[in-house]
A and B are shown apart, each in its own frame.
Chain A
Amino acid sequence: MNARETAWRLFSSELNSASHEIKGADEKSPSYVVTRLGAMVNRVLVAGVLTEKENVGTAEEPMWRGRIQDLASGNFFINVGRYQPEAAAEIAEIEPPAFVAVVGKVRTYKTDDDRTFVSIRPERIIRIPEEVRYQWILDAARSAWDRLNRMKKALSLGEQTEDTLIKAGFGQREAQGLVIALEQYDSPNSAVYLKNIQNALRAILPDRNIDLGLPEDVADVPDEIEIDPASGGSDRNDMEDIILRLLEELDVGKGAPRDELERRAEAEGISSMELEEVSNALMDKGMVYEPNLRYLKRI
């Protein structure tokens, strides 16, 4: 049976940190990118903010490149060519920033220094209401959590071979993915994925003080403090401009170091709490992202 490959809902951090690809034996058999949590991914379903798009082809034969920020962990990179006529027609009509969902196949590229980049070749790219974006974040968080648990279960077995995993109740494909992931990457750093899940839950439940007790540089905002949206509005925009300017100024390549940013923001009259608020807002808008915990970078 030649059933269609399922579309994985996963965060960009998990997809982008994958570097191992299993090529299909011939043109007709599918290729898979194996993630550090053992997902064997051929197709994905992702959602977020299309923050930018660029036609790198010609007007007659467009080739679109774009970035989609997933709110919880980083950016997806998409490439739409002429072999995806529906997606090509669709992306031409969408002006960033916009909430979008993409179904597509994953592709990997190797750079000269042997680093692997993962991009998505969309089959469909559709504008979605914000609520659908939250649905997706929930699905991706649930799916990451499930994989973390499955990986934990696999690691608890004495020996990780396909046979021992299948005997322990894993499906054949799942066992294969987990074994390859452990061979290629060793055991994953669960804090990274838990942070993604925490970000996802914070996005969906902004009123809850969600803290999974993970190491964080910035203190949590106390519940009882409410920012008046009316008065905060104009101040907020000014603060955003200041932060964006600082980010550019302090960028050391991989972004601006948090502690330095905090010091400079303080000097501009922006408290560390306000800085946290503003940078969250900027991340929501898809204008900045965290390359890692201690840095913030403009997109």
Chain B
Amino acid sequence: MNEEELTPHFEELKKELEGKITDEQLRKELNTYLNEYRVTIEAAKRGIKRKYGVDPTLSFVTGDSISKKISDLTGTEMNVDILARAVFTEKKTVTVRGESKTIVSGILGDETGTAPFTVWEGVNVDLVKGETYLFKNAYTKKWNEKVQINLGSRGKVEKPEGVKVDVPDKIIAAESAEIKIGDIRDGAGNVTVTGRILSVETRNITVKGETKVVHSGLIADDTGKIQFSAWNDYNLKEKDSICIKNAYIRSWKGIPQLNLGDRCEVSKVADSFGVIDAAASSRKTVADIMSIGGGLDVSISGTVVDLRGGSGLINRCPQCNRSVLNDECTAHGKVTPVFDLRMKLTIDDGTGAISAIVNRQDTERITGVTLAAAEGLAKARGDTEIVAREMAPKIIMKRITVTGNVLSDEYGPMMIVKKVEEAKVDVKGEAERLFKEVEAAL
């Protein structure tokens, strides 16, 4: 072990042995343990502490483990004890490799920092927010550059009597990064967001048999908009501009959503956005969307490169509006279907390709083929497929701008289109710009 790697251990021992040993002695002891006897650093530290009269168990060293402060965790600890306060905790059931499991997760904090934790055998573990706990024989991992504390089957949670760990407020606040709404992506962790509420509604929902009130809606800044759900009443009102601290991100089908949980702070702020240009705020490339996963009211401009199967004249169930084949609805059985028009487009902007579903009104407007005309054509030819074939040359290779919500699944991103427009390209103007750029560079 070299000097650099040794330093933190050296410092830790020096602090714990307070004046019982000189620096020189300590260095020599460490050298003896590590380089002559080649024991592990943990064993060396325990041995030295014992030798100089500090009971290692007092500093929560048990078995082979060592105790650490949260900010000292490196994400590679195999066996570590952590004395910390439960800043936030929740019990939930997850499915791990097909098996249902009860876990307890949340955030631990001490005077040096906070870190998320998971107790993987959580059936008999009940943690209370604000209480201090000793996590014994924990292991740590690093994910997204953040250390996570895990307690597996070898670990356990103890409640030490009379010990209290304080977590300064600024530490909790510092954990949450200030972020623009347009930059929020899945796994962003805790965030602080400033935006204006575009809409809000209050609903009662049932979570595991319990009725909860949730205030949800849309919030926007000058870079984008996002759906939020507040689990406490912050008296949110439409058009209010607010700063939300310590919100967390959960994604649904790739669309990040902002959650205002128990640790969240909301304050009203002066509006600095002016008029939020909804169209400009959400313009993205397909590559952007792929890295984020999805989004609300996103606009993409690209070339239509395909009109896929399931486009043109289709049949829908009159009851549930699902598209049906052979007059058979998956939910309602044999039905007399109604006709509808739609397009399933592939739009490619040079950075990637996205699937886009366009409804009847927009299909009629963009292709000039009306539902009535399509039905007439299909009847005359005795063939519904003809409608898509007629539409294809009217839409493929067109430059369009589509706006809507984007979801992602295993086949990539897909937009449910709310608005579609032909994109105007100023070819000569763009060419002049390129010419100037090339000329200047040569």
Contact = CB atoms under 8 A, between A and B. Distances in A.
Interface of A: 1-9, 45, 47, 86, 89-90, 101, 103, 123-124, 126-128, 131-132, 134-135, 138-139, 141-143, 145, 149, 194, 197, 200-201, 204-205, 208, 210, 212-213
B305 A145 contact: no
Contact of A135 (B286, B346, B408, B425): B425
A201 B435 contact: yes
Contact of A3 (B353, B393, B425, B430): B353
B381 to A, nearest CB: 15
A278 to B, nearest CB: 24
A139 B302 CA distance: 11
Contacts of A134: 427
B399 interface: yes
Given A1-B410, A201-B431, A124 B399 contact: no
Contacts of A5: 353
Given A134-B427, A145-B434, A6 B350 contact: yes
A45 B352 CA distance: 12
Contacts of B396: 101, 124, 126
B438 interface: yes
Given A45-B348, A127-B393, A145-B438, A205 B431 contact: yes
B353 A4 contact: yes
Given A6-B348, A6-B350, A126 B439 contact: no
A194 to B, nearest CB: 7
Given A2-B412, A7-B353, A126-B397, A204 B431 contact: yes
Contact of A194 (B353, B425, B431, B438): B438
Q: What are the 9 tightest A-B residue pairs by CB atom distance, in nearest-first order?
A: A3-B412, A4-B353, A204-B431, A103-B305, A101-B397, A7-B348, A126-B396, A6-B352, A134-B427
Contacts of B430: 138, 142
Contact of A6 (B306, B353, B399): B353
A3 B352 contact: yes
A131 B348 CA distance: 19
Contacts of A212: 438-439, 442
B353 A143 contact: no
A210 B435 contact: yes
Interface in B237-292: 286, 290
Interface string B382-414: 000000010011001101000000001011110
A126 B392 contact: yes
A86 B392 contact: yes
A6 B399 CA distance: 15
A268 to B, nearest CB: 35
Given A4-B353, A89-B389, A126-B397, 17 more contacts: A1-B412, A2-B410, A3-B411, A4-B355, A5-B353, A6-B348, A7-B348, A124-B392, A128-B397, A142-B430, A145-B434, A149-B441, A201-B434, A204-B431, A205-B435, A210-B435, A212-B442
Contacts of A6: 286, 348, 350-353
A128 B438 CA distance: 28
A3 B396 CA distance: 20
A138 B437 CA distance: 13
A127 B393 CA distance: 7
Contacts of B55: none
Contacts of A145: 434, 437-438
B305 A124 contact: yes
Contact of B431 (A128, A131, A138): A138
A141 B351 CA distance: 16
Contacts of A1: 290, 408, 410-412
B229 to A, nearest CB: 26
Contact of B290 (A3, A45, A201, A205): A3
Nearest to A190: B442
A205 B397 contact: no
B168 to A, nearest CB: 36
Contacts of B90: none
Contacts of B438: 145, 194, 197, 201, 212
A3 B435 contact: no
18 contacts: A3-B411, A4-B411, A7-B303, A8-B350, A45-B303, A89-B389, A103-B306, A124-B306, A124-B392, A126-B393, A132-B397, A135-B425, A145-B434, A145-B438, A194-B438, A201-B438, A208-B435, A212-B442
Contacts of B51: none
B432 interface: yes
A24 B399 CA distance: 31
Residue among A123, A127, A132 with max Cβ neighbours from chain B (10 Å): A132
Contacts of A194: 438, 442
B428 interface: yes
Residue among A90, A103, A212, A213 with max Cβ neighbours from chain B (10 Å): A103
A249 B286 CA distance: 51
Nearest to B346: A4
B398 to A, nearest CB: 8
